[in-house]
Amino acid sequence: MYEASSSRYQSMTYCHCGGSGLQLPAISLGLWHNFGDTASYENMKQLCFTAFDNGITHFDLANNYGPAPGSAEKNLGLLLEENFKAYRDELIISTKAGYDMWEGPYGNWGSRKYLIASLDQSLKRMGLDYVDIFYHHRMDPDTPLEETMSALAQCVTSGKALYVGLSNYDGETLKKASAILDELHCPFIINQNRYSIFDRSIEENGLKKTAVKLKKGIIAFSPLAQGMLTDRYLNGIPQDSRIMTDGRFLTGSSLTKEKLTQIQMLNELAKDRGQTLAEMALSWILRDGMVTSVLIGASKPSQILDNIKALANTSFTTQELARIDKIIELQ
């Protein structure tokens, strides 16, 4: 039986989600990859053990994570039952609904029927009475925002979620959604969005500034740009990379000659800071205190330990930030 490290809270940083009382670890573990039915269950265990032993209390999922859809939640449910039952009150478990999950008109987007049915299914797969955070996964152009937000509020009043969040929203829609949720007295506390040195859309669409103004947290996913902000592609595309074995998320066209030059230049700056490229990329996201947590993925425990090292230096000089911006402008 797994017994967590007694020193698990000694080195992790915890940050409040906006103006709420909930704190998240500065590094959270996402189960988007490597927790589906095609992955090793033993490896899943070691990933979760390593994360929790080092203060990562937050495990993030969505209804369709796999493959197959739902299998990541099912596998986490087994892990919770077999190894983490005694630690449930020390864990933050989040899940989402919004993308394709089952066939027909009620299996995606943002209707009340879909969101509530999806959460019920997620709880059953994970063997939980409630999740800590339930997100709407994407904006729905065809469902009234009031319907989607009231469904999230119902999930909280029913006791199936403690807090709610929004994922992949822009700043303007965030403001409208937040106003509705405030009227419903629903504890909306966090936004989950893609954010990295290479992808700054949450700055461009106003989400980052709006979230801070509204006192809502931000958790950043794809902080390493699907692995581009690591040392993996410094010398081109290795044969065993995800580009070669699984083209669903990162394609060869992403790694242009210009992009490879940028990666190499960023790596030189990271060396000057005494960091790896991945460490610097994570540190950059946390640099200004506006992002609550960075959501990492991992295929092996050592990657989790390496990523945690980013917390040792999240400060950047004005010159370093300008140098990063100049490198990005090369594309």
pLDDT in tens, 274-296: 999 999 999 999 999 999 999 99
- DSSP H or E stretch at residue 188: strand 188-194
pLDDT surpasses 90 at 185: yes
β-sheet bridge partners, residue 190: 165, 217
Q: What is the mean pLDDT of residues 76-97?
A: 98
pLDDT surpasses 60 at 303: yes
- Tokens for 258? 């210009």
pLDDT at residue 233, as a whole number = 85
pLDDT in tens, 98-143: 999 999 999 999 999 999 999 999 999 999 999 999 999 999 999 9
pLDDT at residue 239, as a whole number = 65
Name residue, tokens 């966090």.
190
Q: Mean pLDDT lowest for which of 27-41, 190-204, 223-237, 260-274?
A: 223-237
pLDDT surpasses 80 at 251: no
Percentage of the chain modeled with pLDDT above 70: 95
In contact, 40 and 29? CB cutoff 8 Å: no
Structural domains of the chain in order of their starting residue, each with its CATH number:
14-225+287-299 (3.20.20.100)
One-letter identity of residue 88: R
Q: SS3 for 97?
A: strand
- Tokens for 166? 């929004």
Name residue, tokens 């955070």.
133
pLDDT surpasses 70 at 241: no
Ramachandran region, residue 212 (left: φ > 0; alpha: ψ -120 to 50; beta: rest): alpha
pLDDT surpasses 90 at 252: no
Distance in angstroms (rounded) separating the CA atoms of residues 203 and 59: 25
| Residue (of 285, 109, 85) closest to 117 by Cα position | 109
Average pLDDT of every residue of the chain = 95
pLDDT surpasses 90 at 235: no
Split at pLDDT 50, 70, 90, the class of 237 is confident
Distance in angstroms (rounded) separating the CA atoms of residues 157 and 329: 47
| Residue (of 201, 98, 107, 175) closest to 141 by Cα position | 98
**Comparison of pLDDT for 257 and 327, the residue scoring more:** 327
Split at pLDDT 50, 70, 90, the class of 244 is very low
pLDDT at residue 250, as a whole number = 58
- Geometric angle at alpha carbon 183, from 182 and 186, rounded to 5°: 50
Distance in angstroms (rounded) separating the CA atoms of residues 15 and 18: 9
How far is the CA of 9 from the CAs of 13, 15, 52, 58, 296, in angstroms?
8, 13, 9, 13, 19
